[in-house]
Amino acid sequence: MRIKEIISGALIGCTLLFACKKDNNKYTYNEVNELTITGPQQEILVVQRDTIRINPVIAESVSGGGPYTYQWEVYRSKDLNSWEITPINPATTSTTLSTEKNLKVPALVAPGTYMLQYTVTDTKTNLRKSVRYPLTVNGKYYEGWLVTADISGKTMLSFVRQDDVVFNDVIGASNPSLVIAGKPLAAFSGIQAKLEDVNVFTDQGMYRFSANDFSFSGKSPDLFETAINPVSGPTYAVNSVNFDQYVVSNGNVYGTLAPNQGIAKYSERFNGPAGYSVFPYFMSGTQYWTLFYDNNGKRFLHATYTSRSFSTFPAAADASAVFNMSNVGKTLVGGDKGPNTEYYLVMKDATGYYLCSVLPNNKQAAGLMDKMDSAPEIDKASIFAASELNKQLYYAVANKIYLYDVLARTARLVYTFPANVQIKDLKMFKGLGWGKANTAYNTRLVAATYNGTEGALYYLDLLAIGDVANGTYSKKFGGFGNIVHINYRIPNL
């Protein structure tokens, strides 16, 4: 038995030795062909239905690869199994746009943000290379100024797009049979997660449209629990936590949820102190989600998110406060948001005009209360626009624009239009504090004017000291009617 084991072992050893000698360590190595794909270096922006064009450059580490197949896919981040998409971890839902090497297809997906994936496959080795590009598909009216004008008592809403393309009568173009009743008052955009609306107010009610294509989606009887006719002094806002939408009309406040929280009609008039009449201006912060000023009671009112009832501030004034939020004793004329969530409000009483400020992010919300003794023609002003970079507040009177320096407590004239031109509205170009930034934010005033026959929109670019750069406007858009209101439609979030 032992001899057999020895012989078997010897045979195995010889066999292994012979095999090694026969192989002679001669191996063949084939270098793997790796692909490098060079494409767009920045986010791809395209208007819906316009053509997406990408001509990638493909480089081989070893020549002679292929033939190749190509696939262009588009997907949203919510369609991923995990944070990273790879050929073995694909998107759960994607749309194939093309199987050509170069991409040239119309952008037919809904407006929104996407990832565009390009996959190249070597059919001989089945090796794949994928690259991804951020893609934003904008609606036709993706960003720009809403211009509400009165033409012979009829509402005309126009749109000055961010790339300077002007669209007149956007409502009529999308809704040729729709009749908007009443005299135009204002139009506001509401853009948040799942909220992409434009709300148009006339003295007969509110009309709601899609911000992407201005298709009609409802009017006052469909949107409110109770009628709000007639409408006067309207405004619209969304609070800072994106829970609620608010409409003000005739000093009354109505609320509804933002779409993320559900769909509901605007509530009955907010409960609150008897006889309240709020000024049509909304303030919001982390301490006070909903803050309005009651011009009848000469006090501030506040509410929490989802609440449809106002609370008052404590009647006893805090000894450290500049003024008593529950008993200001002045009438609000107008205002705008300044730096660091400080809202500048111009108020008046029998003794003159004051610059008041509130900070709804702070538990002690009362800020400034300065007499505006060095502000020419402030008693004639009702249109205000503030910078969120510098403590500067602009106000318009007839054909003139003044700059009030909050720290110096003085105002000076910074721009004058021709004598026959009246300023109808004035806005600072600025974002909402989230979403995409723009280098022009807080460095551009936008003035809407009317000369008796034509309405116009002017861009006035600003220097750091607040003066108008080069002493004149940088752009002008004409051909509108009697402009009554302008509002900026920010990009979809």
Task: Provide DSSP, 390-456.
Answer: SSEEEEEETTEEEEEETTTTEEEEEEE--TT-EEEEEEE----SSS---TTTTSEEEEEEE-SS-EE
330 pLDDT higher than 60: yes
Question: For the purposes of burial, counting CB atoms within 10 Å of the CB of 293, is it exposed (0-12), middle (13-18) or buried (19 or more)?
Answer: buried
Torsion of CA 175, 180, 186, 190, to 10 degrees: -40
Task: Just give the CATH number of 35-138.
Answer: 2.60.40.10
Tokens of 463: 């220097």
Report the candidate in 256, 180, 476 with the shortest Cα–Cα distance to residue 170: 180
Question: pLDDT digit string (tens) for 415-450?
Answer: 999 999 999 999 999 987 666 788 999 999 999 999
Q: Does residue 88 carry a pLDDT above 70?
A: no
Are β-strands 410-416 and 422-428 bridged in parallel, bridged antiparallel, or unpaired? unpaired
Q: What is the mean pLDDT of residues 172-182?
A: 96
Q: Is the pLDDT of residue 493 over 90?
A: no
Q: Give percent above pLDDT 90 in the chain.
A: 75
Structure confidence at residue 87 (pLDDT): 55
Q: pLDDT for 445-473, tens place per residue?
A: 999 999 999 999 999 999 999 999 999 99
Kindly state the average pLDDT of the residues 316-329: 90
pLDDT, one tens digit per residue, over 22-50 is 555 555 556 778 899 999 999 999 998 89
pLDDT value at residue 413? 98
pLDDT of residue 351: 98
pLDDT at 310: 98
Q: What is the CA radius of gyration of the chain?
A: 32
How would residue 17 be classed by pLDDT, with cut points 50, 70 and 90? Answer: very low
pLDDT in the model for residue 18: 46
pTM of the entire structure?
0.84
pLDDT of residue 393: 98
Identify which has the larger pLDDT, 7 or 110: 110
- Look at the block and give the residue holding tokens 């509402």: 155
The yes-or-no verdict on residue 387 having pLDDT over 70 is yes
Q: What is the DSSP string of 98-118?
A: E-SSSEEEE--SPSEEEEEEE
> Residue 364: how many CA atoms within 13 Å on its side-chain side?
10
pLDDT digits (tens, 9 = 90+) for 201-234: 999 999 999 999 999 999 999 999 998 878 999 9
Quick check: bond before 67 cis, omega within 30? Answer: yes
Residue 483: strand pairing partners: 149
Task: Tell me phi and psi for residue 14, to 5 degrees.
Answer: -65, -40
Calpha distance 185→480 (Å, rounded): 15
Q: What is the mean pLDDT of residues 93-110?
A: 92
Mean pLDDT of the chain: 90
